[in-house]
Structure 1
Amino acid sequence: MESKRQQKFAGVIQEDLAAIFQREGMNLLPNTMITITKVRVTPDLAIARVFLSFFNNTNNQLALNTIKAHASEIRYKLGARIKDQVRIIPQLEFFVDDTSDYVERMDKIFDKISKEERQPDSE
């Protein structure tokens, strides 16, 4: 369970990273829209786990590796934005948020189930 402080800090990081990716994202990944779906922060606020979703991209793992390769540059830009609000700039860990893939897979399963013939209930 995250504290209010962690949630508030995660919200600040999410907003500022979103602005950074909106402005700088095309330089890192051309023709790809990067969305920050969730940010989780450790209790000491030293590590921020950032979950990303990539749109208009075929290889999510390659995109994630590109983001990870530029993590220090992204952290520097984040630090420039939030330096007056925090004591330390958290280390950034990036992950792919596969929630949309999971939802799509579940939708296909439910569609398959609904198309199957119903067996009469035997009592």
Structure 2
Amino acid sequence: MAEGRRVKRYADLIKRVVSEVIEFKLNDPNKGMVTLTRVKVSPDLRIATIYYTVLGDEKQRAKTKEVLNRSRSFIRSEIKPFITSRWLPELRFFYDETMDYAERIDSLLKSIKNDADSEEE
């Protein structure tokens, strides 16, 4: 149980610090408006999987993905002073499709409702 809390606290720390680095220190005009949604850390604390969303279309998502993957070593070096673990985690960035999925479900539900309303008339 304590191990789970430790991993969660570590993931929260990484999320906060990486978010600040991306916002304030990553000076790439192609990064876009990035929001970190969650961070999963492996039990041995060696891998941090970071999920993000970005404001914009598919083209902007591709640019942001490229910027984040290209900047991994810079971000790692910037978070190093804040990490108290023996190992500095490997950072892996993935686009979080949860919001897209939710919007798709919402649009499907609206179309079903509209179809039902049109059948009643």
The bucket for the TM-score relative to the shorter chain is 0.7 to 0.9
Aligned counterpart, 2:4: 3
Distance 1:88 1:40, change over 3 A: same
Q: Tell me which stretches of 4 or more aligned residues in structure 1 moved more than 4 Å.
A: none
Q: What is the TM-score with the length of structure 1 in the denominator?
A: 0.84
Whole-angstrom CA distance in 2 between matches of 1:101 and 1:24: 28
Aligned counterpart, 1:69: 70
Structure 1 unpaired stretches of 5+ = none
Whole-angstrom CA distance in 1 between matches of 2:107 and 2:78: 40
Between the two proteins, the alignment pairs up a number of residues equal to 117
Q: CA deviation at 1:117?
A: 2.7
Q: What is the TM-score with the length of structure 2 in the denominator?
A: 0.85
Question: Are the counterparts in 1 of residues 52 and 95 from structure 2 also a CA contact under 8 Å?
Answer: yes
Aligned counterpart, 1:35: 35
Higher helix share: 2
Residue 79 of structure 1 pairs with residue 94 of structure 2: no
Q: RMSD across aligned C-alpha pairs, in angstroms?
A: 2.2
Structure 2 unpaired stretches of 5+ = none
Aligned counterpart, 2:87: 88
